[in-house]
Every structure is written in structure tokens, then in C-alpha cells.
Amino acid sequence: QVQLVESGGGLVQPGGSLRLSCAASGSIFSNKVVGWYRQAPGKERTVVARIFTGINPFYADSVRGRFTISRDNAKNTVYLQMNSLKPEDTAVYYCNLAPPITSYWGQGTQVTVSS
């Protein structure tokens, strides 16, 4: 079974920073596009960022310039550095392949931006 474990979320004030990590079982990220997604209460899950080689990472317009996606292939881990956080960034953040595989969704990690 594939396991994706997100971590690093928490409560932060507007303008603050968080670094999220996503650890995958085995080497399921190998040669795959990996993405970060988020879902706010009552809203659909949307893609935040995607990465393959790092040459042309994708960012949603709402986070471009503030978030940075990266990966460590040797550790089967993908990261999301979030800076200049805004209240509208509040959501549960998930990782998955891009496009996502339904059965891969994990529990996510809660990010709350509030003051």
C-alpha cells in the first residue's frame, strides 16, 4: 500500500512561514510529477504546486512568489516552503502525484494562518 505522510503544518500569524514535508513509502515518487494540494472547509481540493525536474515547477497564481516546491529523490520526500502566509492560505495541505491518484490521498496537515 502507498503511504503519504504530510507534516509541518501548524498555526502561524500572517506574514509567517512554514515548511511542509511529504514522505512517501518506497520510491513511488521516482520519475513522477509530484504535487501539493490544499482544501479549505467546504471547498474543493485544488493544486498548489507541482514539480518534476525542477526546471519548470508549477505554482497556482495565488501562491506564486511566496511558496517554493522542492524534492529530495533519495529520501522520497517533497517539500513546500511557504512564506508570507496569508489567512486565505488556511487549509489542509496534501501531497500526491500530479495528476493525483485517488487512493494515494493521506490525512494531510493543517495550516492555519490567523491573528
Is the per-residue pLDDT at 65 higher than 80? yes
Taking residues 32-47, report their average pLDDT.
96
- The percentage of residues in the chain with a pLDDT greater than 90, rounded to a whole number, is 88
What is the pLDDT at residue 46? 97
Predicted confidence band at 37 (pLDDT cuts at 50, 70, 90)? very high
| Sign of the torsion formed by the C-alpha atoms of 57, 60, 64 and 69 | negative
* pLDDT > 70 fraction of the chain, expressed in percent and rounded: 99
The alpha-carbon radius of gyration of the chain (Å, integer) is: 13
pLDDT-derived band at 56 (thresholds 50, 70, 90) equals confident
Q: What is the structure's pLDDT at 7?
A: 98
